[in-house]
Structure 1
Amino acid sequence: MAWNQPGNGNNNDRDPWKNQGGRDQGPPDLDEAVRNLLSKFGIGGSGKKGGGSSSSSGGFPSKGFGIIAVLLVVVWFIAGFYTVKEAERGVVLRFGNFHNLVESGLHWRPVFIDSVEMVDVSNVRQFQSEGFMLTQDENVVHVELDVQYRIINPRDYLYAVENADNSLAQATDSALRYVVGHTTMDEVLTVGRENVRTNTLELLENIIAPYQLGIQIVDINLLPARPPEAVKDAFDDAIAAQEDEQRFIREAEAYAREVEPTARGQVRRILQEAQAYREQQVLKAQGEIARFNELLPQYNKAPKVTRDRLYLETLEKIYANTAKVMVDVEGSNNMMYLPLDKILEQQRRNTDSSSNMSGSSDGQNSTSTNSTRSNNSRQGTSTNSTGRTSDRYDGGRG
């Protein structure tokens, strides 16, 4: 039967808005709604309206504690997930003590029990050490050193020393000052920079090895050193002079490489010419021997004729290379002055020129002979300086 069906004498008691006794009490009480909600979870007491006694005295039932515990466990479990990046490694501490290392990826740890510290082990780090340092020759120089390193052991890097980066910087400064202190200033500024870099790297690695910093030195770079500003100009001049010295040395070496092959070629040419001259003289001597052997039987048969012939041949050879002056004064008693010294001097010059100029010696001699003949012909003098003797003989030996 409907709640508002006529004839029902108790309709007011069945009002859905709980208007008991026919009185309109408005919307439900908010406090009552909250208590009803809490009562469903077993939290709080359910009492009668009007100050009735509650079924419990305000404690938490076991069901409520269980739900809260489950929620806390879920939150604790979810909070334990963490991610390690690709370039990092995780150092896990359990109750503050080292537990293990974890690689990159998703991991889980019990919160409040384990803690994780991330360390970048892939990227190369760097720092710079610089300062004014005293050299071996008691000069002051400003040196800068760039150090590149990376972490290879995260545990040692975090816990072997108090501050690994600071320890590395101090070790670098110590190694650099030691090496510079055993090197002259000229070497630090110019030619010895590579030695300073190599020695510093070797000494730095030996210094940090016992401390187990968990760091590996990738490379160090010695930046250009410079002297103090008060003496900078003088050292610039010294460096320029050293550069000029190296340049002159390289130019001399290049000149030596250029001249040496030429000199060797000249040596080979001289040796070949000497060998050819030697063979020529040997063959000439052998020819003279053969000629003498052929001439000896003729001399034995006709000694006088052979001697005369040899005499004439010898004179022919002598006169062929000697200036000759023939004076014909027939029918004249006048004494004429002949510049014999000039003629002989000119002949000697012509002879020297002919020995130096292989192709044009004959033409020069002919020109000189013609000129001499032309000058002497006006004085009744005939000069003949050709390659062959043109003496006139009356017959027999003159």
Structure 2
Amino acid sequence: MNIGVIIFLVFVLFIFLSSFFTVKQQTAVIIERFGKFHSMRQAGLHLKIPLIDKVAGRVNLKITQLDVIIETKTKENVFVKMKVSVQFKVIQENVYDAFYKLEYPHDQITSYVFDVVRAEVPKLRLDDVFERKDDIAIAVKRELNEAMTTYGYDIINTLITDIDPDPQVKNAMNRINAADREKSAAEYEAEAQRIRIVAKAKAEAESKRLQGQGIADQRREIARGLVESVDVLNRVGINSQEASALIVVTQHYDTLQAIGADTNSNLILLPNSPQAGSDMLNNMVASFTASNQVGEAMKKAQRKKKDNDDYKRPDYLNQIEDTTNDDKEE
């Protein structure tokens, strides 16, 4: 077998093998004949005419994601970087349009994303950009769908996955948040302190009230006991002054006995001499006597003054006053 036959057989084998080609799943192949669109082939094994038909290209029918980084500014002139993720795919029925009408779909999608984001974000403040990022994503998707459907592309979803303000702005925002939290903590601490002070004041007021009520009840009972003691002594022929003096002296010695019963007491009662009881009694009797004398003298002076006034006034005025006093008594 000569060399020419070998070359011919190799050429025939090459032509035969080039007549077959395979298409993967979720892929479309464009076949051109003499440079003109001839057919579109789906997944599987296919046959074409060698040297006449040519595989012009393969179109991916899977969902593809394109991440677009955009730097823009907000309404208050704060620059932010936003990452917009666009998920899209070629419409299977429009593979021809996707292959022939648009050469660089990624660049086209990026341009529309830039246009929409830079039109929407400057209308919003920085806080609103974070809160309304879904609205921005919806606006991007709507604009892309209107533009890319013509070229055979379907926009599945658009997501704003990152919003990154300028580092100085982030630091300022962190300081503001920290200051607000410190302010809230201070207000809560002040309110808690106020509640503690008010509660303590109320407790002290209630304690003082109960203490005063207890002292008043104690003194009331002591006074009632003294009255009963004086009544008992009066029944056996002891007058009120002597009974009062006797009670005071008795309480004095009871106090001395109570002090002596406590071995650890440092209290000293003055006067504490043996004749202290009698001195106290004499002083009380003298005080009562002097008090009675002063009272009687004051009564006499008032009666004398009244008699002098009655003597100086006309009789008819005295009669009117007597009549008035009688009416009051009635």
Q: Which residue is equivalent to 1:210?
A: 146
Please give the root-mean-square deviation of Cα atoms over the aligned residues, in Å. Answer: 4.8
Match of 1:389 among 260, 270, 274: 270
Alpha-carbon distance in 1 for matches of 2:170, 2:54:
65
Q: Which residue is equivalent to 2:260?
A: none
Amino acid at match of 1:89: T
Amino acid at match of 2:46: W
Q: Contact between 1:91 and 1:101, CA under 8 Å: does it hold in 2? A: yes
- C-alpha spacing 1:166/1:158, structure 2 compared with 1 (3 Å): farther
Match of 1:148 among 77, 80, 85: 85
**TM-aligned CA deviation for residue 175 of structure 1:** 1.8
Q: Contact between 2:112 and 2:143, CA under 8 Å: does it hold in 1? A: yes
**TM-aligned CA deviation for residue 279 of structure 1:** 3.8
**TM-aligned CA deviation for residue 169 of structure 1:** 1.8
Q: Contact between 2:121 and 2:129, CA under 8 Å: does it hold in 1? A: no
Q: Report 1:182-193 matches (<5 A).
A: 182-184=123-125, 187=126, 191=127, 193=129
- Using structure 1 for the length normalisation, give the TM-score: 0.45
Match of 1:107 among 45, 52, 55: 45
Q: Contact between 1:82 and 1:108, CA under 8 Å: does it hold in 2? A: yes
Amino acid at match of 1:388: L
Q: Which residue is equivalent to 1:136?
A: 75
1:117 correspondence with 2:50: no
SS of residue paired to 2:270: coil
Amino acid at match of 2:62: V
Residues 117-126 or 386-395, more deviating: 386-395
Deviations 1:281-321 (A, max 9, x none): 444444444333333222223422343367779999xxxxx
Alpha-carbon distance in 1 for matches of 2:21, 2:83:
40
**TM-aligned CA deviation for residue 240 of structure 1:** 5.5
Deviations 1:233-276 (A, max 9, x none): xx95x876554333222223334455555554554444444444
1:177 correspondence with 2:115: no
Deviations 1:154-181 (A, max 9, x none): 4357726635433322321222122232
**TM-aligned CA deviation for residue 204 of structure 1:** 0.6
Match of 1:297 among 228, 252, 274: 228
Alpha-carbon distance in 1 for matches of 2:247, 2:115:
101
Alpha-carbon distance in 1 for matches of 2:268, 2:119:
89
Alpha-carbon distance in 1 for matches of 2:95, 2:202:
76
Q: Which residue is equivalent to 2:328?
A: none
- Using structure 2 for the length normalisation, give the TM-score: 0.53
Deviations 1:11-63 (A, max 9, x none): xxxxxxxxxxxxxxxxxxxxxx9xxx9xxxxxxxxxxxxxxxxxxxxxxxxxx
- C-alpha spacing 1:314/1:206, structure 2 compared with 1 (3 Å): farther
Alpha-carbon distance in 2 for matches of 1:313, 1:295:
12
Structure 1 segments unaligned to the other structure (5+ residues): 1-32, 38-70, 227-234, 317-362, 367-385
Which of the pair has more CA radius of gyration? 1
Amino acid at match of 2:141: E
Alpha-carbon distance in 2 for matches of 1:251, 1:203:
39
Match of 2:130 among 189, 194, 203: 194
1:254 correspondence with 2:185: yes
Match of 1:159 among 90, 93, 97: 97
Q: Which residue is equivalent to 1:321?
A: none
Alpha-carbon distance in 2 for matches of 1:260, 1:169:
55
Alpha-carbon distance in 2 for matches of 1:114, 1:171:
31
1:308 correspondence with 2:211: no
Which fold has the larger relative contact order, with Cα–Cα distance below 8 Å and residues 6 or more apart in sequence? 2
User: More helix per residue: 1 or 2?
Assistant: 2
Q: Report 1:268-307 matches (<5 A).
A: 268-301=199-232, 302=234, 303-307=240-244
Deviations 1:200-244 (A, max 9, x none): 222212222334332334533455445xxxxxxxx95x8765543
Q: Report 1:38-117 matches (<5 A).
A: 75=15, 79-84=19-24, 88-90=26-28, 96=37, 102=43, 106-111=44-49, 112=53, 117=58
